[in-house]
């Protein structure tokens, strides 16, 4: 139920903001708006405000099918227009007005994203501290000499000034952009008990991955924030219980290998398999002020076609958290910066998919959006706002693509008109519209296939 409600609220808000952008600018340009609809199909509710701007008699409608909306304006191409109202028709407006009306929808979504990101910055959010877990063997982080437990003070792209890193999410976002853009990232490590801070260079330009998924982060090597290698709740009768492990035990060594964090411990347990059986090993454990040695033989479970080790206990503990909050001006500036970065990254990923450098699996449809809407809402208001901001950016960028039937396609028509002094002919308009619909249907089909594969495959 939460997933459905969160999905409907998200779609309703983002579509309403998009269409309101068109509506508000149309009214400001003197165009008569006949209907403002959020949703398609059977009308659930309709109303007509008594007080409207002179010349306006807009009907506001909520439709039963929430995947879309529209603003219907007076237009001679869509029906007869009385001579005395011809100056109120969309098609009779100067080019600059038509351009502004069409562009206002995507721009409204991008401005909403700025506001949502800024709100999260102003309210503040609890995020893990930028202390990294042990790197994946052979990854970029491993080759850079990172060992886990290092706190990142500053980071930035190679050749640019380093910026303060306030949370692990800041670091994750920088690494994502670096890997997808093929740019190396330099890290400034905080001083530790082992000595003064140093710098490390992650050669992300050498990371190649067609998908922005977990495998990308495995190649980067930083999978999550540092967590202590402790044992949580122990399941009765499981491998941990049989070996004598107890809640609160801190794992120091497995065999001769020192255990640095919870992620490394989980990976080592999963990999403790040989010829389909659990490989026993000696664990050195600190329990209170005592150090114990216990023989642990993981149980084997199947993860698809792969056999992995399990010990029947919660492994690791929550990472250290920090409250990230910004002032009014800085919060708004950071919100605008994040909106710009997400927009550019979205466009680059789309371009890479078109030329075959990125997998079409990166396309997501309504099922994935609904799934993430529910998950983000269950994590709290700030996470849901971040989700809304991300989808709002995606909606704004998608609508600016130069595809007929989308706002960006109409803007391309207007660009042609500005350059040549004449509009696109009706014959060409019809051909382009059919092509645009075909491309959009193919994209939607791929996205829906990816959704079904991702959620039910």
- Distance, CA of 406 to CA of 262 (rounded, Å): 48
Q: Which residues of 101-127 are buried (b: 16+ CB within 10 A; e: fewer)?
A: bbbbbbbbbbbbbbbbbbbbbbeebeb
What is the DSSP-derived secondary structure letter of residue 88?
A: G
Sheet of 163-164: strand order equals 163-164, 152-157, 185-189, 199-202
* 215 within 8 A of 292, measured Cβ to Cβ: no
| Other CB atoms within 10 A of residue 450 CB | 20
* 110 within 8 A of 396, measured Cβ to Cβ: yes
N residues, the chain: 457
- Distance, CA of 168 to CA of 162 (rounded, Å): 16
* φ, ψ at 395 (rounded to 5°): -65, -40
- Distance, CA of 410 to CA of 396 (rounded, Å): 14
Region for residue 201 given its phi and psi (left: phi exceeds 0; alpha: psi -120 to 50; beta: otherwise): beta
- Would you name the residues annotated as active-site residues? 19
Q: If we measure between CA atoms, which residue out of 377, 421, 424, 373 comes closest to residue 402?
A: 424
- Distance, CA of 309 to CA of 307 (rounded, Å): 7
| Other CB atoms within 10 A of residue 179 CB | 23
Structure tokens at 345: 């990254």
Work out the burial of residue 17: count CB atoms within 10 Å of its CB; fewer than 13 is exposed, 13-18 middle, 19 or more buried. Answer: buried
- 3-state DSSP call for residue 148? coil
Give me the numbers of helices (H) and strands (E) for the chain, helices first please: 12, 18
* 15 within 8 A of 68, measured Cβ to Cβ: yes
């Amino acid at each position: 139920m939460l997933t459905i409600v969160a999905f409907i609220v998200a779609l309703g808000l983002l579509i309403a903001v998009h269409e309101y952008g068109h509506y508000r600018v149309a009214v400001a340009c003197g165009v008569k708006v006949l209907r403002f609809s959020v949703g398609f199909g059977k009308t659930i509710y309709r109303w007509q405000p008594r007080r409207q701007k002179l010349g306006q008699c807009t009907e506001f409608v909520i439709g039963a099918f929430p995947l879309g909306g529209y603003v219907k304006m007076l237009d001679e191409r869509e029906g007869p227009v009385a001579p005395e109202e011809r100056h109120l028709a969309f098609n009779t407006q100067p080019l600059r007005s038509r351009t502004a009306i069409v562009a206002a929808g995507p721009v409204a979504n991008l401005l909403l994203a700025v506001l949502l990101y800024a709100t999260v910055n102003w309210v503040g959010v609890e995020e893990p501290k930028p202390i990294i877990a042990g790197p994946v063997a052979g990854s970029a982080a491993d080759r850079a000499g990172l060992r886990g437990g290092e706190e990142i003070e500053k980071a930035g792209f190679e050749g640019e000034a380093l910026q303060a890193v306030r949370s692990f999410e800041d670091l994750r976002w920088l690494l994502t952009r670096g890997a997808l853009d093929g740019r190396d990232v330099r890290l400034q490590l905080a001083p530790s008990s082992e000595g003064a801070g140093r710098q490390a260079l992650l050669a992300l330009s050498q990371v190649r991955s067609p998908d922005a998924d977990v495998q990308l982060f495995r190649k980067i090597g930083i999978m999550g924030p540092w967590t202590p290698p402790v044992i949580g709740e122990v399941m009765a009768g499981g491998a941990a219980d049989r070996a004598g492990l107890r809640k609160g035990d801190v794992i120091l060594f497995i065999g001769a290998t020192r255990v640095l964090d919870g992620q490394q411990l989980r990976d080592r347990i999963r990999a403790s398999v040989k010829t389909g059986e659990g490989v026993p090993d000696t664990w050195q454990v600190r329990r209170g002020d005592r150090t114990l040695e216990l023989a642990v033989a993981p149980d084997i479970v199947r993860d698809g076609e792969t056999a992995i080790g399990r010990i029947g206990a919660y492994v690791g503990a929550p990472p250290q958290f920090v409250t990230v909050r910004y002032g009014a001006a800085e919060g708004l500036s950071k919100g605008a910066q994040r909106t710009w970065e997400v927009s550019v990254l979205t466009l680059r990923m789309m371009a890479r998919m078109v030329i075959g450098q990125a997998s079409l699996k990166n396309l997501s449809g309504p099922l994935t959006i609904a799934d993430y809407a529910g998950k983000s809402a269950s994590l709290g208001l700030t996470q849901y706002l971040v989700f809304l901001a991300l989808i709002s950016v995606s909606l704004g960028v998608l609508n600016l693509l130069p595809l007929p039937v989308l706002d960006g396609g109409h803007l391309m028509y207007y660009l042609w008109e500005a350059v040549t002094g004449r509009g696109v002919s009706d014959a060409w308009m019809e051909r382009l519209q059919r092509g645009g619909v075909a491309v959009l249907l193919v994209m939607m089909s791929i996205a829906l296939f990816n959704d079904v594969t991702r959620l039910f495959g």
